A and B are shown apart, each in its own frame.
Chain A
């Protein structure tokens, strides 16, 4: 049995990353390294207004004064920020009029990823904004959305076409001086997605962004800004992959969500950046700042994430519950294998009265990986009757991995109730025995148990994603027995 389990574990660790191909597309890149000139270069390339350049330079100057944070439970060789290409874009020959003119190599890439930018999406009814390396290459369904007054486009287009919205909201949730990686992103961000749902509109289809790092030695720094005006609703999905490379690549993104009165935003992520090989070489360093603000009363923001990729994940999708009766949710499954390291969790800041938050975090560690949950629940004095429930479970598969929980809870009033519970365990022999006794082999039994364990989170994913996430989970973990 031991032997068999080891074999299965081996199989899992040897299973390939199927998105690890590289597409040969002609690229246009900025010179290696970071300086004010690089930033000016990016800004000029994107034909940006003066104020945005000033925003970038401010962020850059602030970034220079900072040191890379070391508090996370992560170990990696120092990142040489001068050794990164901060801007890489598929070379545009001319303005694209229709999908037919998109580089066929590029379309191939997205077809391989299973994201068709074409008809298939019409069947599934998902609008896609695809970002390759640093630049948004194609947004589908813009016209359908425009009918409802919804703006869904690349960040650069938004800067050109809706500067007043960008100017008003960019940096309002994650200011450029928020943290080291947010400052870096604010200085060099290249593109990303922008989404505005007008008052009273319920977005009829799911919106989706697909991020892909393709070129070597580049960092990807995208920025997403979602604004849901009063009584609006949107469900937003994000997916990401990268080619297999020996060196580590940096990804530092920002996602900002603004939910006005009675608005609801549901943000789902399936993060599958290249995690490195089984010896821990290569892989993406994923340092992401995600935050939403429930600005008006009764607003709701819900984060759901499935984290299976990246050599390093540093990510804390947070909600600032400012409006009265607003709701914040965080559902997360984080899987680490081999030498992956994840330090992820959430922050729920209760400011308004009767605010509620729910945190469900499921960590699964295997191989030599380390998986940490780090969360903050803060209830300030005026947040009367605030309510929080947190549950953070860790599952350990194998005796060389680690699972850690760092929950910070701070409460400053007498009418709030905050509950936190966490458990750490492995798949018990009893559970396995039960399954095997009924003719289910070890591998399937583990898959079954892990899927059951993660179900609480997966059921919050939109259907299109849930299927993908379940597949991902089984690829990462099938047969892993602790």
Chain B
């Protein structure tokens, strides 16, 4: 475990948030020796100015009208502005427990890359992975070519804050014509007693005709309140394929803002799937830019929320060129006082002819206190397109329910069966079999109310006292 004294920590005061960030920025990031490259200094400075211009999200902003950050932003937070102990053995903190699932593990602890094998590794086939900060030094031309270019002119203060104050994150580079057989697993761990505010930044570059599978797990094991502001930029060159899965199983004190930007060139195929099982406030912002013809984006999501949890899925798909295809499918079940937001925006640019864009959002509300806000939004400037969207909010089908009940199955089981069937449409889109099986199990457990927070999580992690606790999932129960 990292000792506290090894860390430089700065406290962010909630009463004057922007100013407080500004002070930390001046002390820790502006002109610091740590990443003295003029490129990054310049980027950080510009980004901070933009952050000061746009500020934190407010309820009166169109994209934030249904997600209220004011509570999360009223805490005092700690920023970890320096690297944890490099000798830290990651295996003592975390071990992935998905059976038969061999992965290349990339983990961050409190926003910093940790590994037992050094900051950057290179595989035989030329694949480079490791710390974003290390890559910025070692592969400066590559990183500087791509870094922040996917963000365009974002008007989102949090994105700029991330650029200005990014700590570390994960860097993956897949050279042209390389297909990575193992799945990369990105794990973000939070392990601290403090209230922590993270600005993690990931950069993933796929060369021409390459293939990468990526599982992104967000888990937390701390006692404090956490605010994660994570930004990922993913660049997909011609004919590359990316399978991207996000699993979010956060505790009830975590605010997770996940912004992912995908830039797709000709003929590239993206499959991304966000599965949110728990979390006080989870927001997934996916920005897909289809810049090359014949590229395809499949964006899926499933959310199962209860208690006072809130999930917000924002998807922006920009069809900039002709002959691209996008599919969106988001499904959710809301119990208790949970609330969910879906905001899908498809923009078909002028002359982006022969576009096919489909968008579907389906929701089941189980109680009168759950709330759903959905806005499937189309903005179309080309005529030869096929675009459709649909949104439904309803209940479990009474006839299906009767059919099952009439065969002697209890109401509770029948409900779970139908809800599972509802969720399965999204789960079946997961192409990595081991992962799909595990997600299946987790969803079943979630529907039974057996999966709540880190106690039953997929991860097998150590607790504060470095004692291992094993929570194998009992398959016989399913």
Q: Which residues of A contact B (CB under 8 A)?
A: 71, 73, 381, 394, 396-426, 482
Cβ-defined partner of B353 (8 Å) among A399, A408, A425: A399
Cβ-defined partner of A424 (8 Å) among B350, B353, B367, B387: B387
B384, A408: Cβ atoms closer than 8 Å: no
Contacting A at CB under 8 A, from B342-397, are 350-351, 353, 363, 365-395
A411, B371: Cβ atoms closer than 8 Å: yes
B393, A411: Cβ atoms closer than 8 Å: yes
Cβ-defined partner of B380 (8 Å) among A394, A412, A413, A414: A394
Q: Which residues of B contact A (CB under 8 A)?
A: 62, 350-351, 353, 363, 365-395
Q: Assuming the A-B contacts A414-B368, A424-B387, are A406 and B375 also in contact, with contact meaning beta carbons closer than 8 angstroms in the complex?
A: yes
A417, B390: Cβ atoms closer than 8 Å: no
Residues of A within 8 A of B369 (CB): 381, 412
Residues of B within 8 A of A413 (CB): 365, 368
B379, A417: Cβ atoms closer than 8 Å: no
Which residue on chain A has the smallest CB distance to residue B352? A399
Closest A-B pairs by Cβ, 9 of them: A396-B383, A424-B387, A418-B393, A421-B390, A413-B368, A405-B378, A417-B394, A414-B365, A423-B388
14 A–B pairs (Cβ distance < 8 Å), ordered by A: A394-B378, A396-B385, A399-B383, A406-B375, A409-B373, A409-B375, A409-B391, A410-B374, A411-B372, A415-B395, A416-B393, A420-B391, A423-B386, A426-B385
Residues of A within 8 A of B393 (CB): 409, 411, 416-419
Inter-chain CB contacts under 8 Å: number: 120
B378, A426: Cβ atoms closer than 8 Å: no
**A422–B372 Cα gap in the complex (Å)?**
19
User: Interface majority SS on A: helix, strand, loop or mixed?
Assistant: strand
User: Interface majority SS on B: helix, strand, loop or mixed?
Assistant: strand
Q: Assuming the A-B contacts A406-B375, A409-B373, are A400 and B350 also in contact, with contact meaning beta carbons closer than 8 angstroms in the complex?
A: yes
**A415–B396 Cα gap in the complex (Å)?**
10
A425, B385: Cβ atoms closer than 8 Å: yes
Residues of B within 8 A of A410 (CB): 371-374
**A423–B378 Cα gap in the complex (Å)?**
9
Other A-B pairs, 7, CB within 8 Å; known A396-B383, A399-B350, A409-B373: A405-B376, A407-B377, A407-B391, A410-B371, A420-B392, A421-B389, A422-B389
Which residue on chain B has the smallest CB distance to residue A412? B371
**A402–B385 Cα gap in the complex (Å)?**
11
**A415–B368 Cα gap in the complex (Å)?**
8
Residues of B within 8 A of A419 (CB): 390-394
Q: How far is the CB of A395 from chain B (nearest CB, A)?
A: 9
B375, A402: Cβ atoms closer than 8 Å: no
Q: Assuming the A-B contacts A402-B379, A404-B379, A404-B380, are A424 and B388 also in contact, with contact meaning beta carbons closer than 8 angstroms in the complex?
A: yes
Q: Assuming the A-B contacts A417-B394, A419-B392, A420-B390, are A482 and B373 also in contact, with contact meaning beta carbons closer than 8 angstroms in the complex?
A: no
Cβ-defined partner of A381 (8 Å) among B350, B368, B375: B368
**A279–B270 Cα gap in the complex (Å)?**
42
Residues of B within 8 A of A421 (CB): 388-391
Which residue on chain A has the smallest CB distance to residue B365? A414
B62, A71: Cβ atoms closer than 8 Å: yes
**A403–B355 Cα gap in the complex (Å)?**
14
**A414–B394 Cα gap in the complex (Å)?**
7
**A421–B374 Cα gap in the complex (Å)?**
12
Q: How far is the CB of B444 from chain A (nearest CB, A)?
A: 22
A418, B383: Cβ atoms closer than 8 Å: no
**A419–B353 Cα gap in the complex (Å)?**
28
Cβ-defined partner of B381 (8 Å) among A397, A402, A411: A402
Residues of B within 8 A of A414 (CB): 365-368, 370, 395
